[in-house]
């Protein structure tokens, strides 16, 4: 488990933190202008097809970052793990916030209640260290390329998507953790990873918790650190 605790990456004061397991690399959703200018400068040194391909990749990255920011995504991490057949399995993990018109706790309680009653078979309630939440799962058709139809033959036909939502503590928002993978056979494993991350979610600043626990022995972690050890080893 990666011991780094991440927080919302915007201009607001962070209000929640969580841990990412080993194997996930975060996408920079707020690249500095100097970094972009450096990349553009390097592109100018390329020639022919290499320059065209690099330019398309940069435009794709800019488009993805713009889309994620427009949807209040504060974390996007790409995961690559060894597969059982000797290859690799991939996933995308995101954290976003969803504004609510009323109390986010009532929204979560209502959805969790309908899940417990069996009103929606795709939902189930969750008791997390940070409070009540719910888990939603679905399998949906994978998006198909219209510009390059030839890649559709080797692309996955469906994706597994798992979503955990909990109420924010100090803002009228839902905190939404989402995992998506084309590896349907590993859906159980990715569900466990998603739930493990959700169990590390905390509204307590880990730096303050660490200062309060300086007198404790290293082998007795508390708070988010303890949750990460329990869920990811």
Tell whether 216 is covered by a domain.
no
Tell whether 207 is covered by a domain.
no
Helix (H) or strand (E) run with residue 75 in it: strand 73-82
Whole-number Cα distances in Å, 40 to 48, 61, 133: 15, 13, 44
Please state, in angstroms and rounded to a whole number, the distance separating the CA atoms of residues 177 and 123.
Answer: 14
The pLDDT of residue 2: 52
Looking at the structure of the chain, the number of domains it has is 1
Tell whether 13 is covered by a domain.
no
Tell whether 179 is covered by a domain.
yes
Tell whether 101 is covered by a domain.
yes
Please state, in angstroms and rounded to a whole number, the distance separating the CA atoms of residues 204 and 211.
Answer: 12
Tell whether 233 is covered by a domain.
no
Tell whether 221 is covered by a domain.
no
Domain coverage including residue 90: 18-201
Tell whether 206 is covered by a domain.
no
Residue 95: CB partners within 8 Å, gap ≥ 6?
Answer: 8, 18, 73, 74, 75, 175, 176, 177, 178
Ordered per-residue pLDDT tens for the chain, 233 residues: 554 556 665 555 668 899 998 889 888 888 777 877 887 788 778 788 777 777 777 776 777 788 888 888 889 999 988 877 777 888 999 999 988 887 888 888 877 766 555 555 568 888 999 988 989 999 988 776 555 555 445 556 789 999 999 998 878 889 999 999 998 888 999 999 999 999 999 988 877 765 555 555 544 444 444 444 444 43
Q: What is the pTM of this model?
A: 0.74
pLDDT tens column, 18-55: 999 888 988 888 877 787 788 778 877 878 877 777 77
């Amino acid at each position: 488990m990666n011991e780094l605790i991440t927080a919302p990456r915007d201009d607001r004061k962070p209000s929640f933190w969580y841990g990412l397991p080993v194997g996930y690399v975060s996408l920079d959703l707020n690249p500095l202008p100097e970094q972009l200018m450096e990349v553009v400068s390097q592109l100018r040194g390329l020639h022919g097809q290499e320059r065209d391909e690099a330019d398309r990749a940069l435009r794709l990255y800019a488009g993805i970052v713009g889309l994620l920011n427009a949807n209040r995504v504060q974390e996007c991490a790409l995961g690559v793990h060894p597969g059982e057949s000797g290859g690799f399995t991939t996933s995308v993990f995101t954290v976003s916030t969803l504004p609510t018109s009323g109390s986010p706790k009532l929204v979560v309680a209502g959805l969790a209640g309908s899940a417990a009653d069996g009103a929606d078979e795709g939902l189930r309630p969750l008791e997390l260290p940070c409070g009540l939440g719910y888990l939603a799962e679905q399998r949906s058709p994978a998006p198909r390329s219209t510009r390059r139809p030839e890649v559709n033959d080797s692309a996955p036909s469906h994706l597994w998507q798992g979503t955990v939502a909990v109420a924010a503590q100090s803002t009228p928002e839902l905190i939404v953790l989402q995992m998506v993978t084309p590896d349907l056979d590993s859906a159980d494993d990715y569900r466990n990873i998603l739930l493990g991350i959700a169990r590390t979610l905390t509204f307590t600043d880990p730096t303050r918790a660490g200062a309060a626990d300086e007198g404790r022995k290293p082998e007795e972690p508390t708070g988010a650190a303890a949750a990460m050890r329990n869920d990811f080893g």
